[in-house]
Structure 1
């Protein structure tokens, strides 16, 4: 069995920091390395861990975007500038699409929007773990098939074979909304909550229904043309 992945939680709110630390303790194959309440503290812990454990001291950083001293994006840039290949999962309440896009461009492996359940948290860690294990098994040079297989581990449900014109970032936002919704949602409701057109919302919802990530049922009793509602399929992702 491989060594557990050491995790640094970077979160300034004490309740959230404690909750995320406890989630890491519950996740199989992971080990809590430390909790940092500021960006500066996170960077210091990264440097100290590198000295004590070579450059692989921290395998994964769970990073809030809104820190009291340094924005999460700046933390990412400094971590990468220092030569760390540490995996980074953004764990944040920030939902603005430009920030999400910049975080993805900067190299975050996953983006998890607060609030979330342990199941959603654990799924992100499981995907990262598969990616980490796939990378460890590969030779020094790999072919296209091996690259595709390794990167596929980081994809959220429904992102495989994404149709032309659809964005993984937008799909992730729709998936997050569905996972958090207490009831089934319609394309109109997704449109209102995510600020996209109804046609776009329905296209993403239909993609997830075809993939099996959602169940689709007619919604009766609404005026005008018939409308479908979509519910996240927890059974598919157990």
Structure 2
């Protein structure tokens, strides 16, 4: 069964990236994109939605306030928080209000896909369950959401911390060459290029050719992802 997803994200580039990621993931389809709480409620009232990908920082209120309003209005769709909010109180409140998974920005498509696959596994088990379930059935269904997936999100030999530095440096949307990025994060050009090529393969960085000066053209990398 296809999962219909509503992306709630105020930042335009991130909203576009999340929508593209949903379309790219088997078993999921995009129900809509909302840039505010008001838009999100409008979509929920107009089309069926199974899963909401919810940012916490919205222009017309906090994501948790939107979630509370959704529940009060009877929208029982599942919610995955997709946000840069790292405050432990926000995490606690999100869990208490029924957020099933929490995905921190920045991330690549691989990290995004892992969360959706985790949710799809949970949903498949829930759908396949009998009308009456035992304790083991419940434990297994909830365990899918609570267990850390074993999939590696970066290739062997690459560091998650360095990947985070690279993505943070690129998120201002300014195009950079491998040499410029290397200088910005304090690593070698070869290392910077390896991470840039990895992000390009994940479709969160766009390559282009930069001309200018008397030297050979350089490859420029610009962030387009989440």
TM-score, normalization: structure 2? 0.66
1:110 aligns with 2:108: no
Once the two structures are TM-superposed, the CA of residue 113 in structure 1 deviates from its matched residue by 0.6
1:31 aligns with 2:29: yes
TM-superposition CA deviations, 1:137-165 (whole Å, max 9, x none): 11222110100011111124189xxxxxx
Alignment check: 8 A CA contact 2:10 2:58 kept: yes
Q: 1:72 to 1:145 in 2, by over 3 A?
A: same
How many residue pairs were aligned? 156
Q: How does 1:13-52 map to 2 (within 5 A)?
A: 13-49=11-47
Look up the match of 1:90. 81
Alignment check: 8 A CA contact 2:114 2:149 kept: no
1:131 aligns with 2:111: no
Once the two structures are TM-superposed, the CA of residue 91 in structure 1 deviates from its matched residue by 0.4
**Is there any run of 5+ residues in structure 2 with no aligned partner, and where?**
151-157, 164-226
Alignment check: 8 A CA contact 2:79 2:99 kept: yes
Look up the match of 2:5. 7
Q: 1:23 to 1:154 in 2, by over 3 A?
A: same
Structure 2 counterpart SS, 1:181: helix
Structure 1 counterpart SS, 2:40: helix
User: Structure 1 CA distance, aligned partners of 2:133 and 2:149?
Assistant: 26
Look up the match of 2:52. 61
Alignment check: 8 A CA contact 1:89 1:109 kept: yes
**Is there any run of 5+ residues in structure 1 with no aligned partner, and where?**
50-56, 160-177, 184-238
Alignment check: 8 A CA contact 1:40 1:70 kept: no
1:181 aligns with 2:172: no
Q: How does 1:118-197 map to 2 (within 5 A)?
A: 118-157=109-148, 180-182=160-162
TM-superposition CA deviations, 1:167-204 (whole Å, max 9, x none): xxxxxxxxxxx984128xxxxxxxxxxxxxxxxxxxxx
Alignment check: 8 A CA contact 1:116 1:180 kept: no
Alignment check: 8 A CA contact 2:52 2:78 kept: yes
Once the two structures are TM-superposed, the CA of residue 47 in structure 1 deviates from its matched residue by 1.3
Structure 2 counterpart SS, 1:112: strand
TM-superposition CA deviations, 1:21-80 (whole Å, max 9, x none): 01111111100110000011101111112xxxxxxx101100000000021001111111
Q: 1:144 to 1:31 in 2, by over 3 A?
A: same
Once the two structures are TM-superposed, the CA of residue 81 in structure 1 deviates from its matched residue by 1.6
Structure 1 runs of 4+ off > 3 angstroms? Answer: none
